[in-house]
Each structure stands twice: as structure tokens, then as C-alpha cells.
Amino acid sequence: MPRARKGSAPRKGGQRRRGGARSSAQADSGSSEDEAASEARSTTSDCPSLLSTAAEDSLGGDAVDEQGQQEDLEEKLKEYVDCLTDKSAKTRQGALENLRLALASRLLPDFLLERSLTLADALEKCLKKGKGEEQALAAAVLGLLCVQLGPGPKSEELFHSLQPLLVSVLSDGTASPSARLHCASALGLGCYVAAADVQDLVSCLTCLEGVFSRSCGAGGSTAPASLHGLFCATLQAWALLLTICPSTHISHILDRQLPRLLQLLSSETVNLRIAAGETIALLFELARDLEEDLIYEDMDALYSALRALATDSNKHRAKADRRRQRSTFRAVLHFVEGGECEEETVRFGLEVLYVDSWARRRIYAAFKAVLGSGMHHHLQNNELLRDIFGLGPVLVLDATALKACKISRFEKHLCNAAAFKARTKARSRVRDKRADIL
């Protein structure tokens, strides 16, 4: 990769920077992904149940049973790889969806290394000749392949062979918005993991920048609603690549893109507004690493826009959207004004990951979006993610140690009851104070 990632100092199972971030805003890509896979799921075989059984065994089951589950899974995956070249589009989509589920849930680098060329050829045909849902699923599988293979010659070769197709579909205004959305995410994630040349990074940044910049003509509100998810995913992929961008480019990018991001803050879509706000905070974080007393020339307009969104109470917006927006922009405004970020902790197994900067927040959200419920499994076992987040070597624990650390249902019930009681008392005191004021 072009440069070392932000925040390399490990701390209690995870690296730490200056501050943390709040919970990640979900992009419109989530609903698009569900739509892209809806038909494919109708042809899905028993792979999901097999994956869940194998995942449970990995938490402390018998080693022989786990090996048998692994062999059964690989047999299924061989069938899915063969189905990628089937004449039926529905069969290909079903195979792609099953591969996506498998790669997100399990770590299979050896299996994929043996078939990297076969998979590259199959995905190339799906991206080139497929339509809509098939292209979206192929792009999602490509991103997962890069996460599985990690940085190295194989993943770099895979990314370089399919990068032109990703750019072609992303730039094609007549292509399906869902396909373009997933190609944007795959382009960002693939470049982040596999690209070793700075020129590749700059090329991907320019491509992604060109797409989301088209929504800034009139504050982003004139763009069709169907494209808001695409602009959001493209902006998030661009922000991911900023975390590995050479420092010499950051100040130039800040001056050029901040006015456009300010326009996106007036978008009709809450996810696009939140993505723009988080990207602004990320840009200021990266720029302050170079110049601690950074001051943007039009800070008053920026403060005004952020403060308006942090206190927005328009009734025509959904209540949940208003709450999420205010929470995010309070954190963004506090940070831009020179404050610290709150730290978020992610617990998985016996370890803890500290998400304590806007850069780490964007990186974590990007991998979480593609891995879904398999994020914790990959944090525990994937060397790529453990290296990115400074978690150290993979912990090797036997079944006895894992079982000893598991909490019984009764103990969980007691903990939840105690937490509920403490929370009720705390809120009661606040309510009493409000009553006194009234």
C-alpha cells in the first residue's frame, strides 16, 4: 500500500490515536445491497446454515467436526465457482450471492489462492456481460476477495485486472445505480488493500471524486433520488482512500473539495449529509496532522452549516433521521472547533478494538459494510485487519479457555438487570431536576 495507515501505535489490543468516534452512519448502500441480492437469494442452497454451523464450531467445538465442516464448505464453494460460468443469469447470481455470504463469514485464503485466476476470469465476465444485480454481486465478491487475500502480488494482480471494468461501470451513466454503487465500494476497498503504487491511488481518487462531484452542482438536491446512494457510497470510498493518501496531497484536496462537501450538507438525503459531515471531519483530522493550527478561510460558513445540522428540528424529517443527524454533527462540530473525539470500543471474543479517530472510524465502517456479521470473525482471524488496526498476531486459544470465558444466560440476565436498574435511577434523577425547573 502507498503509505502506512493512520494510527500505528497499539493499545490494549488495538492501536490508538487522539480520539474516537461515535457509531457509524449506515450508507444507502445497505438497502441497495439487499435489493441486488433479493432474486439471487431465491436460488441460495444450504450454504448459510452450513456457515453458521461451522462458525459455532469454531468457537470451541470439536476440531475433527470443524475440519469436516470446512471440507463440506469447500465442496460447496467449488460448485459455486463452477456456476459462475453458467448460461443462466439467475444461476450465476445465486452462485455470486453464496460466495459473498461464504467469504464474509469465513476466512478461506488458501482455497482462494488456488483459484484466483479462475475467479478473476469469472468476475470479469460477470462485470463485462452481466446486468444490474449480477454486476453488483460481482463487485461485492471482488471486494471480499481482496480482503481475504490481503496485500500481495495475487491481490494486486486481481485488482489491476478488474480495475478498468470497475471504473467503466462506475462511470457509465446508463448502468444500474446498484451496480455502480457496489463498483465504487469495490474500487475503494480494492485500492486500499491491494494497490501498491501511488499512481493507482491517485487514479482511483480522481475517478471517485469525479462521480460524487456531479452531485454538487446545486447542493446535491437536483440529483435524482435514485443516485443519492451512489453518491454516498462513492464519497465514503473516496474518504477511505484519503486515509492512505500521501500527506503532500491532503492540503490541496482540502482546499479543492471542502466547498463541494459544504454543498452536500444541504442534500435531501440524511445519509449523504452524514457522509459529507464525517468526510469534513476526516479532512480536518488529516490536515491537522500536518498543521496543528489549521484554519480554513471560510470557517464561519462551515461552523454555521454544521451547527444548523447539529440542532436541526425540522418536523418533515423522520425522527430517527433527525436524532442520528444531530448526534453525528454534534461530534463533527465539536472536533472541527478543536475538541477531542469520543472513543468507541468494539469487543470481540477476548479482545477490544478502540475506534478513536475519524480515520479509524472510516476504515472500520468500510470493512464492516462488506463483511457484515462476519466482521468479528475477521477481526479475530484475518491478518490484514489485525495489521490495519494494530491488534497483533492472531490469538490461539483452546476450547477449554474459550468455554471458560463464555458467560451463562443467567449471568447475562443478572448483568442486564443491574444495568437496567442503574440506568433507571440515573434517568429518574434527571427527570426530578426537570420537574423542579418546571
Determine contact, residues 102/139, Cβ cutoff 8 Å.
no
- Greater confidence (215 vs 200) lies with 200
What pLDDT sits at residue 63?
53
What pLDDT sits at residue 25?
39
Query: In the numeric block, which cell numbers belong to residue 56?
Result: 459455532
- Greater confidence (58 vs 199) lies with 199
55-80 mean pLDDT: 69
User: Is 50 exceeded by the pLDDT of residue 251?
Assistant: yes
Return mean pLDDT, the chain.
80
What pLDDT sits at residue 27?
43
Alpha-carbon distance 181 to 169, whole Å?
9
300-324 mean pLDDT: 85
Is residue 193 classed exposed, middle or buried when 0-12, 13-18 and 19+ CB atoms within 10 A define those classes? buried
User: Is 50 exceeded by the pLDDT of residue 8?
Assistant: no
User: Is 90 exceeded by the pLDDT of residue 166?
Assistant: yes
114-161 pLDDT per residue, tens: 888 999 999 999 998 888 899 999 999 999 999 999 898 888 999 999
User: Is 80 exceeded by the pLDDT of residue 332?
Assistant: yes
What pLDDT sits at residue 329?
92
For the ranges 60-69, 193-202, 288-297, the one whose mean pLDDT is highest: 193-202
pTM, to two decimals: 0.77
| Backbone angles phi and psi of 353, in degrees to 5 | -110, 130
Q: Per-residue confidence at 343, pLDDT binned at 50, 70, 90?
A: confident
User: Is 80 exceeded by the pLDDT of residue 4?
Assistant: no
- Greater confidence (422 vs 51) lies with 422
198-224 mean pLDDT: 76
User: Is 60 exceeded by the pLDDT of residue 366?
Assistant: yes
Q: 102-106, 199-203, 211-215, 430-434 — which is least confidently predicted?
A: 430-434
Alpha-carbon distance 304 to 424, whole Å?
36
What pLDDT sits at residue 276?
93
14-39 pLDDT per residue, tens: 443 333 333 443 444 444 444 444 44
What pLDDT sits at residue 212?
83
User: Is 90 exceeded by the pLDDT of residue 376?
Assistant: yes
What pLDDT sits at residue 404?
63
73-103 pLDDT per residue, tens: 888 888 999 888 888 889 999 999 999 999 9
